[in-house]
Structure 1
Amino acid sequence: MSNQPFFKRKWVQIGLAIGVITLGVLASELLVATAPTASRKPPEKTARLVTTEAVESGNYNVSLLGYGVVQAEQQVTLQARVSGTVQSIGPQFVPGATFKKGDVLVQLDNTDYRIELQTAQASLAQAQSNLTSEQGNQVVAQSDFELLGLNVDERERALILRKPQLEAAKATVQSAQAGVERAKVNLDRTVLRAPFDGVVVSREASVGAQVSASSTLGVLASSKAYWVSVAVPQADVKWINFPSGQQKGSTVCVNDASSREKGCHKGYVLSLQTSVQDNGRQAQVLIEIPRTSDKTLQPLLLAQYVKVRFEGIELKNVFKLAPSTVHDSKVWVNDNGELDIRPVNIAFRSAEYVLIDKGLKDGEHIVTSNLGSPVNRMAIRTNTANASNTPTPAAAVKP
Structure 2
Amino acid sequence: MIRFLSVIIPLAILAASGAGTWWLLVNRPETKMQEVRPVLVQVEGTRLKKTSFPVVVTSQGMVQPRTQTTLLPEVSAKIVESSSNFKPGGFFEKGEVLMKLDPVDYETAVVVAQAAVAQAESMLAEELAKAEQALENWKALGRSGEPNALAMRKPQVAKAHADVASAKAQVLKAERDLERTTIRAPFAGQVLEQLVDVGQLVTSGTQLAKVFAVDYVEIRLPLPERGMRFLALPENYRDGSESAATANAEVRLNAVMNGKLASWRGRIVRVEGAMDASTRQIIAVAQVDDPYAKRSDGLPPLKVGQFVEAEITGETLQDVYVIPRSAVRAGNEIILISPKNTLRRVLVEPLVSDEKQIVIAANAPKAPQEGEVLCLTPIPFPADGARVDPVIDGKASTVGMAKSDATATKPVPAPKGGPS
TM-score range, shorter chain: 0.7 to 0.9
Paired residue secondary structure (1:101): coil
**Following superposition of structure 1 onto structure 2, how do residues 1-399 of structure 1 map, counting pairs within 5 Å?**
7=2, 11=5, 23=16, 26-27=19-20, 29-31=22-24, 33-45=26-38, 48-60=41-53, 62-132=55-125, 150-153=143-146, 155=148, 159-160=151-152, 163-232=154-223, 241-244=232-235, 245=242, 247=245, 250-256=249-255, 261=261, 263-268=263-268, 270-278=270-278, 281-283=279-281, 285-291=283-289, 292=291, 293=293, 295=295, 296=297, 298-312=300-314, 315-327=317-329, 328-341=331-344, 342-357=346-361, 358=364, 359-383=367-391, 386-387=394-395
The answer to whether the 8 Å contact 1:337/1:381 transfers is no
Q: Is the 8 A contact 1:226 1:290 kept in 2?
A: yes
Cα contact 2:76–2:201 (8 A) shared by 1: yes
Q: Distance in 2 between matches of 1:273 and 1:19?
A: 112
Write the deviation string for residues 342-390 of structure 1: whole angstroms up to 9, x where unpaired: 33333334333212123123344322223354343444455578349xx
Cα distance in 1 for partners of 2:261, 2:68 equals: 29
2:173 counterpart SS class: helix
C-alpha distance in 2 between matches for 1:257 and 1:235: 28
Structure 1 runs not aligned, ≥5 long: 389-399
1-structure distance, mates of 2:196, 2:252: 38
TM-score by length of 2: 0.74
TM-score (norm 1): 0.78
**CA displacement at 1:79 relative to structure 2:** 0.8
Cα offset for 1:39?
A: 3.5
- In the TM superposition, residue 313 of structure 1 has moved relative to its aligned partner by 6.1
Q: Is the 8 A contact 2:343 2:382 kept in 1?
A: no
8 Å contact from structure 1 (residues 52, 365) kept in 2: yes
Contact 2:47 2:392 in 1 (8 A): no
| CA displacement at 1:330 relative to structure 2 | 3.0
Relative distance call for 1:387 and 1:151 in structure 2 (3 A) is: farther
Change (3 A) 1:319 1:234: closer
In the aligned structure 1, how far is the partner of 2:304 from the partner of 2:93? 18
**How far apart are the structure 2 equivalents of 1:129 and 1:216?**
43
Partners of 1:121 and 1:176 within 8 A in 2: yes
Change (3 A) 1:205 1:252: same
Shift of 1:76: 0.8
Partner Cα separation in structure 1 for residue 263 and residue 306 of structure 2: 17
- Pairwise CA distance, 1:137: 6.0
SS in 1 for 2:252: strand
Provide the C-alpha distance between the structure 2 equivalents of 1:305 and 1:170, rounded to a whole number of angstroms.
63
Rounded Cα–Cα distance in structure 2 between residues aligned with 1:385 and 1:350? 24
Paired with 2:49 and 2:142, the residues of 1 have a C-alpha distance of 110
Q: Note closer, same or farther for the CA distance 1:260–1:361 as it changes in structure 2 (3 Å cut).
A: farther
How far does residue 204 in structure 1 lie from its aligned partner after superposition?
0.8
Aligned partners of 1:370 and 1:286: how far apart in 2? 37
Are the structure 2 counterparts of residues 304 and 385 from structure 1 closer, same or farther at C-alpha, using a change threshold of 3 Å?
closer
Shift of 1:112: 0.5
Amino acid of the residue matched to residue 253 of structure 2? V
Q: Is the 8 A contact 1:233 1:282 kept in 2?
A: no
- Which shows bigger deviation, 184-193 or 37-46? 37-46
1:376 is aligned with what amino acid? D
Residues 42 and 86 of structure 1, relative CA distance in 2, 3 Å threshold: same
Q: Identity of paired residues, percent?
A: 21
Distance 2:358 2:260 in 1: 23
Per-residue deviation at 1:283? 2.6
* Cα RMSD after superposing both structures: 3.7
Q: How far apart are residue 174 of structure 1 and its match?
A: 1.8
Deviations 1:254-287 (A, max 9, x none): 3348987263442315223525334xx4335141
Secondary structure, aligned partner of 1:188:
helix
* Contact 1:72 1:221 (8 Å CA) reproduced: yes
CA distance in 1, matches of 2:190, 2:164: 44
**Partner AA of 1:301 in structure 2:** K
> In the alignment, is the contact (CA less than 8 A) between 1:81 and 1:213 conserved in 2?
yes
CA distance in 1, matches of 2:151, 2:49: 100
Task: Indicate the larger mover: 77-86 or 226-235.
Answer: 226-235
SS of the residue corresponding to residue 276 of structure 1 reads coil
For residues 148-168 of structure 1, give each alpha carbon's deviation from its aligned partner in whole angstroms, at most 9, with x where no partner exists. Answer: 775222526x844x5544433
Alpha-carbon separation, structure 2, partners of 1:339 and 1:345: 23
The number of aligned residues is 377
Amino acid at match of 2:261: E
SS of structure 2 residue aligned to 1:345 = coil
